[in-house]
Amino acid sequence: MHQLKTQLNNRRRMTLMMLAALLGLAVLITGAATSFAQSGSDDSTSALSGSGSGDIRLRARGQAAINGIETELRGDFRAQSSPFRQQLSAELENIHLPIGTPVAFCLVRSSGTLRLHRSKVHLESGIKVAELDLDTNDGNTVPDVHVGDRIETHQARMAPFNPTPTCASPLLVSAKFQ
């Protein structure tokens, strides 16, 4: 009889320990989901920051060889809830296209594709770039961006170049927001 009581007490203790461990794990997961912070400086990762304040940050990074040169596309989306502000920026860097060539920046979402902006290739510190900078504080309309959405750049890779590239023009580089 004494041995049976000991076994029951051991099972109760084990069950309580398991419940406590599960509760602790649930608290950790909930806290991590609301205040996931980026570790390191790798641009290919994303961060939901702001310790539960509703601020969001998503990043995208992609690479492709264009005319034999490795080109990089980086995107950054930020949404701030109080005060309200949204920013979407992207930079196509080290692009092997002539200076002055227009490049279309597009956002691909599950609901469809949206042309955001056309930017001309220009030099910055000796490197050819094309840029997108949208900010609600500057009066721009900034679309919502979600994990899995893609930022894309479009233009022909060789002459003749399209003077008004669209999202249907040939793809240069694509990067997925994470």
pLDDT digits 0-9 by tens, 110-134: 999 999 999 999 999 999 999 999 9
- 94 Rama sector, left if φ>0, alpha if ψ -120 to 50, beta otherwise: left
Report residue 67's pLDDT band, with 50, 70 and 90 as the boundaries: confident
Output b/e per residue, 47-62; b: 16+ Cβ within 10 A: bbebeeeebbbbbbbb
3-state secondary structure at position 153: strand
pLDDT at res. 5: 57
Rounded mean pLDDT, 148-159? 95
Q: State both tokens at 69.
A: 């040169």
Its pTM surpasses 0.75: no
Mean pLDDT of the chain: 80
Indicate if the pLDDT at residue 18 is higher than 70. Answer: no
Q: State both tokens at 45.
A: 């990762």
Distances (CA, A) of 63 to 13, 112, 122, 148: 55, 23, 19, 17
Pair 172, 66: CB distance under 8 Å: yes
Rounded mean pLDDT, 36-43? 31
pLDDT at res. 100: 97
**Higher-pLDDT residue of 50, 2:** 2
Rounded mean pLDDT, 44-65? 71
- The CA R_g of the chain, rounded to the nearest whole Å, is 24
Indicate if the pLDDT at residue 35 is higher than 60. Answer: no
